[in-house]
Amino acid sequence: MENKLIGTGVALITPFKSDLTVDYDALTKIVNHCIEGGIDYLVVLGTTGESVVLTKEEKNKIVRHVVKVNEGNLPVVLGMGGNCTATVINEYENFDLDGVDAILSVSPYYNKPSQKGIYSHYEQLSKSFNHPIVLYNVPGRTSSNMSAETTLNLANNFDNIIAVKEASGDMDQIMTIIRNKPDNFLVISGDDGLTLAMILMGANGVISVVGQAFPEIFSSMVREGLNGNVKKSNELHYQLYPIYNPLYRDGNPAGVKECMQEIGLCSNKLRLPLVNVESSTKKELEEFSKSLKTS
C-alpha cells in the first residue's frame, strides 16, 4: 500500500451550498478535477474537509460519494482520529470502509498526552484496524508534538503503520525521521510550502491543500522533485510560492475555498466557527487564481 501513497495526495474540502448543506455536485467536480490534474491519491474527511462540523451521516455519505465518483482511479485515504482512543476504534468498527485504502489518524489533541500516551494510542489503533495507518503529526492543531523517537518506534514496531504526515515544520525533526526510518516507511509533507524542501531531503510526497485547486502544477512539482529534477521542480515551486502565505493567513480551508470559488469549482461557504477570509486576503487569492488560470 505504501507505494500507492508516494507523490501528491490532496486533503479534499467539503463544499457547501448557500444553506450550508453538502454540495455533492461540487464535490464531484473537485474529485474529477484532481483525477484529471494528475493527483496520486485522495484524502477524505481531514481537517481541510471540516470533518469536525459534519454529522456521522454526512461523513458516511461524503465517503460513499467520493468512492463512487473516483471509480477506483486513485487510492482513497480516510481521515479518522480523535482524543479518545476507544471512540476512534468504535468509529472505525462502525464505519462503511468499502473503497477506503488507508486511514490517516491525527495525534490526540487537547488532552495533550505524553509521548508514552501517544505511542499507546497508536498501538491500540494498530491492533484494532485492518487498514494501513498514516500517522499525522500537526502540533499547531493538537498542541502536542509527536517526537521523532515516538514516530520511529511506531514505524519499527507495527507493520500496518506505514507512513507519517509530518506538519510540525521542524526540519531537524523531519530529517531525523527520514534518516532513521525503515525503508518501507513513508514521510509525507503536511505543509504545502515545505513540500519540495522535504522531498529533496528524502520525503516521499505530500498531502496537500492547494493541490486540489491547482493539481497540474502542484503534482508536477512533486513529481519532478521525486525524480531529482531540481531546476524544474524549483521553477514550479516558485510559481506557487506567492499563494502559500495568503492561503493560510485567515485559516484553512477558508483560503483554498476562495481559490476554488474563483476557478469555478465550488462556493466559499464554511460552517461556523470558521468564517471567510478578510477582504484583502480574498483579493490576493482571487488575483493569484486568475493569473494561474490565464497563464
Residue 92 annotated as catalytic? no
What average pLDDT does the segment 88-113 reach?
A: 97
Percentages helix, strand, coil for the chain, rounded to the nearest 5? Answer: 55, 15, 35
Is 250 domain-assigned?
no
Is 274 domain-assigned?
no
Contacts of 170 (CB under 8 A, 6+ apart): 145
Boundaries of domain holding 8:
2-238
Is 246 domain-assigned?
no
Is 288 domain-assigned?
no
Does the pLDDT at position 51 exceed 70?
A: yes
pLDDT tens across 218-270, in order?
999 999 999 999 999 999 999 999 999 999 999 999 999 999 999 999 999 99
Give the pLDDT band of residue 45 (cuts 50, 70, 90): very high
pLDDT tens across 174-216, in order?
999 999 999 999 999 999 999 999 999 999 999 999 999 999 9
Residue 136 annotated as catalytic? yes
Amino acid 1: pLDDT: 75
pLDDT tens across 53-68, in order?
999 999 999 999 999 9
Look at the chain and report how many structural domains it folds into: 1
Q: Quick check: helix, strand or coil at residue 205? A: strand
Is 89 domain-assigned?
yes
Q: Among 208, 193, 219, which residue's Cα sits nearest to residue 37?
A: 219
Is 270 domain-assigned?
no
In Å, what is the CA distance from 208 to each residue of 56, 161, 179, 205, 250?
Answer: 24, 20, 23, 9, 17
What is the CATH number for 48? 3.20.20.70
Q: Write down the mean pLDDT value for the chain.
A: 97
Amino acid 295: pLDDT: 56
Is 171 domain-assigned?
yes
119, 122, 136, 248: the active-site residue: 136
165, 257, 269, 282: the active-site residue: 165
pTM over 0.95: yes
Amino acid 205: pLDDT: 98
Amino acid 179: pLDDT: 98
Q: Are 212 and 10 in contact (CB under 8 A)?
A: yes
Is 271 domain-assigned?
no
Residue type, 169: G
Amino acid 293: pLDDT: 66
